[in-house]
Structure 1
């Protein structure tokens, strides 16, 4: 069959992977009524993560149910473990297990097995009671029966096809409790997508809040670095301070700030990404207030958003301090270079003065040299013309008086010629 594609066409090596990425992490299909439970596990430090151990935990769970494990390179898996369904996802910083089934007792039993064999530390976990309820009165009765906290948030979602509620307070077992009341006709596919969005809100909210912990840990170091930087900057206009010592002080502060940036850059960037995911998932719920209760968006705006603004402010503060340290270092380096240029000019001027003095001294020495050489040269000449003196009608003093000027001039001319050749 003619497909209209030339046979010489060659696919890009990454094309298949890029297409598969569009279909990665599929939504679960959850029937109503059901109970669902999710946990997110991560190591205490990102560098300590052992992906092989995390995958081994999944393989052990699958082996108990005689299921075929996914390929080693898989990042997600959905399969049945007896009467339950398990969805496993391997994320950048954490791994999640989502379990659902008709019996709450069976779901909690498998949840206990997962936590007992957990690789990493629990960062988030939540339990979902999914019920089919028609009528607001029955929904309000369910809210009163399942939630007592004042922080309860409840909203109509997905065009009033469901009501979701959560008080965002963990129970004794450490689980958040979500109640999902579905209208008649709310199918398993839509229920699964709704539960997945709620799971993302809880999981990524917890991961985003790690940025707040990091900013609090950095608070004292940032304050110390800021004070040291201010002290160094105040010394820039102090003429009595040692420029080299001040520059070294600023370099130490800059190095301290760079260490803070290296430690916090990933966490602060990840917090921004997680915050965007949380806000996107809340927006996709299309919330409408339920009988005066605060919505999930309102709850987050009052508690979650200020924490994210704190992280953002700390990030800006760290960036600003780093930039200030860089500018101060450049200004001080400019001042040091100017001082060095001035010192070099003074040194060159001093060298010029010494050269002039040396030249004058050289000229003086040359004059003395002419006299000394002429003195000995006159003696030699007199020795040479001694025999001639016997036949001349002049005495030795007169002969010396005649020879001396000639010898001096010849000596001076010879030294000038030698000096001109040297230069």
Structure 2
């Protein structure tokens, strides 16, 4: 096949489907996970800093340096297998190791990610997870004492997953060392690929849950802002009925509120959109586990509906409230424009009436001036004719005064007719 016939992105896009396969794990084992995000403008961050931070970690263990353009990386770091992935807003580090520590959820297991190295990260931790993977005893009820010891009973969720091939348990709490704990007990003989998929879905579940909850923080801040702006907007709308208030003052107040609302919408639109997308992923990951109830315990869907769903509803409610306030501000602007247009219409009508009266006066004055002009021009014309025709009157023995009296009506008629012709010609030229 000719390569020229291929779309330039075809192979890159196909390879992207296989770039992040689920790990293949054997029980017992431990997984340690970090998700790091820059606090601001994470989507447009300098990704070279992420790769440099990864290079620092793998360099401490003598592993190959990552490609500067890489979006994912995998290497062996001592007894750990490291997986690194770059996402839109965050990067993730996952370290898998065979076996279990002498003490379950020993914080020392997380030393694969040293404290000083985490402190130098180009961002902050949004998720830190430790997963304890062990074999399920023949009597599944035997794990209940361990779950009671490891997790808080009031928030513990424990379920069968993937057709009862494993039990997943966790309380979604952060322990004193900063890790969120999950325990996975797999039936003997469970395929390594299936174990890897369970672990990956749990990690994604917690990561996207944490990322979606960032919208809750924004919603609380935005709610305080809207609690201040909404009464101001209501006062402005109610004040529009007061004709004593100047439109310029109302417009200034409305622009101030509308600008702050628009700024809030711009600043939070990405976060609210991302929250909605992350929430959808969380629900997909829970559904993909195909959970069923274990020993009468709380299920993940129940935990989510009681603890997680209300937070997401709050975010959506805040987003809708902001959109409603923006609509109200826009409608208030339209009402104000209507009020100004009506006022301008009244002003224009009064102006036109004044102009009509002024034009009428000017027309009357023009007619008066025209009459005076006719007489003035006629006066001077008769005078000139008197000088010109004086000798003629003398020759025909006609009194000069009589001659001027006879010429006066004729001169006036000629002047009047000439001015009418000039006025008609000017009118035709401008018409």
| Residues 390/146 of structure 1: CA separation in 2 closer, same or farther (3 Å cut) | closer
| Residues 392/199 of structure 1: CA separation in 2 closer, same or farther (3 Å cut) | same
| Residues 367/119 of structure 1: CA separation in 2 closer, same or farther (3 Å cut) | closer
Contact 2:64 2:75 in 1 (8 A): no
How high is the TM-score relative to the length of structure 1?
A: 0.92
| Residues 50/409 of structure 1: CA separation in 2 closer, same or farther (3 Å cut) | closer
How high is the TM-score relative to the length of structure 2?
A: 0.90
Q: Does 2:26 align with 1:24?
A: no
**1:202-248 deviations in Å (ceiling 9; x for gaps):** 11111111100011111222222222222222233333332333233
Match of 1:68 in 2: 64
Return the match for 1:269 from 270, 273, 286.
273
Q: Distance in 2 between matches of 1:253 and 1:219?
A: 15
For the residue of structure 2 that corresponds to 1:150, the secondary structure is helix
Q: Distance in 1 between matches of 2:426 and 2:62?
A: 101
| Residues 414/61 of structure 1: CA separation in 2 closer, same or farther (3 Å cut) | closer
What is the Cα-based RMSD across aligned positions, in Å? 2.2
Contact 1:128 1:180 in 2 (8 A): yes
TM-aligned CA deviation for residue 307 of structure 1: 0.4
Q: Distance in 1 between matches of 2:5 and 2:389?
A: 110
Return the match for 1:120 from 120, 123, 126.
123
Q: Does 2:110 align with 1:108?
A: yes
Contact 1:99 1:107 in 2 (8 A): no
TM-aligned CA deviation for residue 144 of structure 1: 2.2
TM-aligned CA deviation for residue 277 of structure 1: 0.8
Q: Distance in 2 between matches of 1:76 and 1:214?
A: 30
Identify unmatched segments of 5+ residues in structure 1.
1-5
Return the match for 2:284 from 262, 280, 287.
280
Match of 1:10 in 2: 5
TM-aligned CA deviation for residue 280 of structure 1: 0.7
Q: Distance in 2 between matches of 1:212 and 1:148?
A: 24
Contact 2:214 2:275 in 1 (8 A): yes
Match of 1:55 in 2: 51
For the residue of structure 2 that corresponds to 1:385, the secondary structure is helix
Contact 1:28 1:196 in 2 (8 A): yes
Q: Distance in 1 between matches of 2:3 and 2:160?
A: 54
Match of 1:377 in 2: 381
TM-aligned CA deviation for residue 63 of structure 1: 2.7
Q: Does 2:88 align with 1:84?
A: no
Q: Distance in 2 between matches of 1:390 and 1:378?
A: 17
Return the match for 2:405 from 401, 408, 423.
401
Contact 1:244 1:336 in 2 (8 A): no
Match of 1:196 in 2: 200
| Residues 64/418 of structure 1: CA separation in 2 closer, same or farther (3 Å cut) | closer
Return the match for 2:226 from 214, 222, 229.
222
Q: Distance in 1 between matches of 2:132 and 2:145?
A: 14
Q: Distance in 1 between matches of 2:371 and 2:130?
A: 109
Contact 2:28 2:100 in 1 (8 A): no
TM-aligned CA deviation for residue 9 of structure 1: 6.7
TM-aligned CA deviation for residue 117 of structure 1: 5.0
Return the match for 2:158 from 146, 151, 154.
154
Q: Once structures 1 and 2 are overlaid, which stretch shifts more, 410-419 or 302-311? A: 410-419
Identify unmatched segments of 5+ residues in structure 2.
none
Q: Distance in 2 between matches of 1:8 and 1:238?
A: 73
Match of 1:247 in 2: 251
Q: Distance in 1 between matches of 2:193 and 2:389?
A: 134
Match of 1:234 in 2: 238
| Residues 382/137 of structure 1: CA separation in 2 closer, same or farther (3 Å cut) | closer
Match of 2:175 in 1: 171
Q: Distance in 2 between matches of 1:253 and 1:274?
A: 31
Q: Distance in 2 between matches of 1:385 and 1:9?
A: 106
Return the match for 2:331 from 327, 347, 350.
327
Q: How many residues align?
A: 418
